[in-house]
């Protein structure tokens, strides 16, 4: 599709709406390219009334949700074109009978047209929404009035503006008698501005900000100027009434408004007052934070000092938990473990090292010693004593007592000669062949774990991205990856999504319950992002910050996804012997994984 103007012949290709949904006669809306002063822009007309327009194309290739695939601007012609990437998908670009700019896509399987996206989805899209010398703030909430007068101006019709929220009358100068031509006037900066159309202005390349300001200041009819750097510095100036100024968080330009000397002074004092207020707030906040930190530090120091004085804790403090647990003295433990000899060491867990010992009466014991580098403190030690002392069962190792001496805290268990003690009580939830601090056991739910983690035990930041991608595809399809079945093939959900994508039928993945709830462009974008996240190799997957940008910004270009991991029907990972047997349910275990740098 080609939409634009032939500058030589004057032929203008444009869109016209139907008269009604069922009447293909010529409607009242038309969407065409105009070229005022060599600055092309798209304009939507309602009859002869200018209803909506885009910013100049050389400045902004995107407006709202309306995007183009290519834009050509030369001496012969100016036009935009839309090219369907997948020729098997039928799409039409149109203006409907209500003036909505749309793209509809034909769903072969459903036998109906579905809206892919639509323009004019913002309150500020209507032409002249805030009148002359007013600007529309796209960031205002639905309950707030989006129109504001530019600096130095006030509502022309205050009653309509404030009470009816009708800003079509625009704004007028606050001090009409005070001239703005050689009377000390200047410019006030409006940040995060979307550049207005330049139908009443011009532009000049290769001018600096200072040169652009001087150019506007020399011309008494110049009401505003701006600078952009798209392929070179463009100085844009506006004359007469300024229309369709807008601000938004996503905008990246600044608009400089011409004001009289009094307004310039008022804006300067206002800015200075804000700066002083900000500095005062910084001083107050900093002082409060410092004082709070000092108080917290003092309290922590007092608590720690008190804790150091305590040689142990009273396990009989609560009458309901009177456990009558024996207390071993340090001399007994040192003698039993041969002064904690390495030859007596039988293992090491998250609590600390474990030693085998023998009491004077010949009874074998296992001593669990709190390591100085352990994250388990006094509270955890006390909890373990209370909890384990309560548990008495023939299949559970028995807690014989504890030892408290200064900073030393130890638990004394009965020794299990068959080795189950150090394998199942003191280890860090590792299997029998895992004596080192590096886990070689894959813990997680199959279907969500990345290939490199499932097969090789390698974990990286991109492993979670894979899991996220699986969840995205499950949400879009309404089906679980591991429980997915299809009558025509044995692929899992990832393979099915990839097959539909390569065939240009990704829209068929959508859950039937979600049909019509969202624009098809957003649906396809979510599926696209999901496939990017589940690519086989970690280096191909995007970072989480990139995923966030892809989802919130429709202007972000997405690369083509590559083949996903676990593309084949049912991975052998799910069928080979597993440490816990054939069960593939989620395992509620704690492991320590050593990530490898890629």
- Judged by average pLDDT, the poorest of 30-34, 59-63, 253-257, 325-329 is 59-63
pLDDT > 80? residue 591: no
- What is the predicted pLDDT for the residue at 198? 59
448-485 pLDDT, tens digit per residue, is 888 887 777 676 778 889 999 999 999 999 998 878 88
Exposure pattern of 432-453 as b/e (b: 16+ CB <10 Å)?
Answer: eebeeeebebbbbebbbbbbbb
Whose structure tokens read 């384990």?
A: 388
For residues 239-245, average pLDDT = 88
39-65 pLDDT, tens digit per residue, is 677 888 888 877 777 655 443 444 333
The strand pair at 245-247 and 134-137 is best described as: parallel
CATH class for domain 451-574? mainly alpha
421-448 pLDDT, tens digit per residue, is 444 333 333 333 333 333 444 445 677 8
- What is the predicted pLDDT for the residue at 286? 85
For residues 19-35, average pLDDT = 88
| Residue 316 pLDDT level (bands cut at 50, 70, 90) | very low
Q: Hey, how many other C-beta atoms are within 10 angstroms of the C-beta on 280?
A: 10
For residues 579-590, average pLDDT = 37
The candidate with the shortest Cα–Cα distance to 217, out of 251, 265, 183, is 183
Distances (CA, A) of 212 to 162, 180, 208, 238: 35, 17, 6, 12
d(CA 564, CA 556): 22
The candidate with the shortest Cα–Cα distance to 585, out of 570, 598, 597, 574, is 574
Residues 566/569/571/572 CA torsion (nearest 10 deg):
-150
- Judged by average pLDDT, the poorest of 314-318, 378-382, 493-497, 539-543 is 314-318
582 or 224, higher pLDDT: 224
DSSP letter at 587 equals: P
What phi, psi does 267 have (nearest 5°)? -65, -35
Distances (CA, A) of 64 to 68, 123, 142, 203: 12, 11, 17, 24
For residues 106-111, average pLDDT = 82
- What is the predicted pLDDT for the residue at 187? 94
506 or 228, higher pLDDT: 506
d(CA 195, CA 255): 7
d(CA 425, CA 484): 39
- What is the predicted pLDDT for the residue at 577? 38
- What is the predicted pLDDT for the residue at 394? 62
Q: Which two tokens stand for residue 94?
A: 């149109």
The candidate with the shortest Cα–Cα distance to 101, out of 14, 24, 39, 23, is 14
What phi, psi does 203 have (nearest 5°)? -145, 150
Q: What architecture is domain 319-418?
A: 2-Layer Sandwich (3.30)
For residues 84-89, average pLDDT = 68
582 or 508, higher pLDDT: 508
Query: Distance of alpha carbon 139 from its chain centroid, rounded?
Result: 18
Q: Which two tokens stand for residue 338?
A: 């041969």
For residues 82-97, average pLDDT = 76
pLDDT > 80? residue 96: yes
- What is the predicted pLDDT for the residue at 437? 31
Which DSSP helix (H) or strand (E) runs through 446? none
pLDDT > 60? residue 596: no
Q: What architecture is domain 134-259?
A: 3-Layer(bba) Sandwich (3.50)
Beta carbons of 193 and 253 less than 8 angstroms apart: yes
For residues 255-267, average pLDDT = 91
Q: What percent of the chain has pLDDT over 70?
A: 74
For residues 62-71, average pLDDT = 51
- Judged by average pLDDT, the poorest of 93-107, 162-176, 385-399 is 385-399
- What is the predicted pLDDT for the residue at 436? 30
d(CA 51, CA 99): 9
- Judged by average pLDDT, the poorest of 6-10, 93-97, 121-125, 222-226 is 121-125
Beta carbons of 200 and 223 less than 8 angstroms apart: no
For residues 216-232, average pLDDT = 84
pLDDT > 60? residue 515: yes
Which DSSP helix (H) or strand (E) runs through 432? none
553 or 586, higher pLDDT: 553
Beta carbons of 568 and 499 less than 8 angstroms apart: no
Specify the domain boundaries for CATH 1.10.510.10 within the chain: 451-574
- What is the predicted pLDDT for the residue at 464? 84
Specify the domain boundaries for CATH 3.30.200.20 within the chain: 319-418
- What is the predicted pLDDT for the residue at 107? 84
Beta carbons of 19 and 98 less than 8 angstroms apart: no
Average pLDDT, the chain: 77
Q: Which two tokens stand for residue 176?
A: 């009409």
d(CA 119, CA 82): 15
| Cα atoms found within 13 Å of the Cα of residue 389, Cβ hemisphere only | 20
- What is the predicted pLDDT for the residue at 199? 60
330-343 pLDDT, tens digit per residue, is 999 999 999 999 99
Q: Which residues contact 119 (CB under 8 A, 6 or more apart)?
A: 52, 63, 64, 65, 66, 100, 101, 102, 125
Q: Which residues contact 431 (CB under 8 A, 6 or more apart)?
A: 440, 441, 579
d(CA 315, CA 381): 11
- What is the predicted pLDDT for the residue at 595? 40
d(CA 91, CA 528): 19
The candidate with the shortest Cα–Cα distance to 559, out of 501, 519, 508, is 501
CA angle 376, 378, 380 (to 5 degrees): 50
| Residue 593 pLDDT level (bands cut at 50, 70, 90) | very low
385-398 pLDDT, tens digit per residue, is 776 776 666 666 78
Which DSSP helix (H) or strand (E) runs through 7? none
Beta carbons of 496 and 509 less than 8 angstroms apart: yes
- What is the predicted pLDDT for the residue at 420? 46
Beta carbons of 217 and 233 less than 8 angstroms apart: no
- What is the predicted pLDDT for the residue at 133? 93
């Amino acid at each position: 599709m080609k939409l634009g103007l032939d500058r030589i012949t004057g032929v203008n290709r444009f869109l016209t709406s139907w008269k009604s949904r069922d009447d293909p006669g010529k409607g009242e809306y038309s969407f065409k390219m105009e070229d005022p002063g060599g600055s092309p822009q798209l304009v939507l007309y309602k009859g002869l009334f200018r209803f909506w327009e885009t910013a100049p194309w050389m400045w902004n290739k995107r407006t709202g949700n309306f995007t183009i695939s290519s834009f050509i601007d030369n001496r012969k012609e100016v036009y935009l074109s839309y090219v369907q990437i997948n020729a098997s998908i039928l799409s039409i670009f149109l203006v409907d009978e209500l003036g909505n700019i749309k793209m509809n896509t034909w769903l072969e399987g459903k036998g109906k047209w579905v809206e892919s996206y639509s323009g004019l989805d913002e309150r500020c899209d209507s032409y002249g929404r805030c009148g002359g010398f007013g600007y529309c703030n796209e960031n205002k909430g639905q309950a707030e009035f989006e129109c504001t007068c530019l600096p130095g101006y006030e509502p022309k019709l205050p009653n309509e503006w404030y009470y009816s929220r009708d800003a079509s009358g625009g704004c007028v100068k606050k001090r009409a008698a005070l001239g703005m031509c050689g009377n000390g006037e200047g410019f006030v900066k409006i940040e995060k501005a979307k550049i207005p159309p330049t139908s009443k202005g011009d532009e000049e390349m290769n001018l600096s900000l200072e040169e652009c300001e001087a150019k506007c200041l020399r011309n008494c009819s110049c009401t505003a100027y701006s600078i952009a750097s798209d392929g070179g510095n463009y100085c844009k100036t506006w004359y007469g009434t300024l229309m369709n100024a807008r601000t938004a968080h996503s905008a990246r330009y600044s608009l400089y408004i011409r004001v009289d000397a009094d307004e310039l002074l008022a804006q300067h004092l206002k800015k200075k007052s804000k700066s002083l207020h900000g500095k005062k707030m910084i001083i107050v906040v900093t002082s409060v934070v410092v004082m709070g930190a000092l108080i917290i530090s003092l309290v922590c120091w007092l608590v720690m000092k008190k804790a150091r004085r305590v040689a142990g804790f009273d396990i009989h403090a609560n009458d309901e938990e009177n456990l009558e647990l024996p207390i071993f003295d340090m001399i007994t433990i040192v003698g039993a473990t041969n002064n904690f000899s390495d030859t007596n060491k039988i293992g090491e867990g998250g609590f600390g090292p474990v030693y085998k010992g023998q009491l004077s009466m010949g009874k074998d014991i296992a001593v669990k010693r709190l390591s100085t580098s352990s994250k388990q403190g006094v509270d955890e030690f006390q909890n373990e004593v209370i909890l384990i002392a309560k548990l008495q069962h023939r299949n559970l190792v028995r807690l014989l007592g504890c030892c408290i001496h200064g900073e030393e805290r130890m638990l004394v268990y009965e020794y299990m000669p068959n080795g189950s003690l150090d394998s199942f009580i003191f280890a860090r939830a590792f299997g029998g062949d895992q004596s080192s601090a590096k886990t070689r056991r894959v813990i997680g739910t199959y279907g969500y774990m990345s290939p490199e983690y499932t097969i090789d035990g390698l974990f990286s930041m991109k492993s979670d991205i894979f899991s996220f991608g699986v969840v995205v595809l499950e949400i879009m399809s309404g089906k679980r990856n591991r429980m997915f079945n299809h009558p025509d093939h044995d692929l899992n959900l990832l393979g099915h999504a990839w097959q539909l994508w390569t065939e240009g039928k990704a829209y068929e993945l959508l859950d039937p319950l979600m049909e019509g709830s969202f624009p098809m462009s957003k649906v396809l974008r979510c599926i696209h992002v999901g496939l990017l996240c589940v690519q086989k190799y970690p280096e191909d997957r995007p970072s989480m910050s990139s995923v966030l940008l892809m989802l919130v910004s429709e202007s972000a270009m997405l690369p083509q996804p590559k083949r996903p991991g676990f593309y084949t029907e049912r991975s052998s990972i799910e069928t080979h012997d597993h440490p816990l047997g054939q069960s593939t349910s989620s395992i509620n275990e704690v492991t320590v994984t050593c990530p490898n740098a890629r």
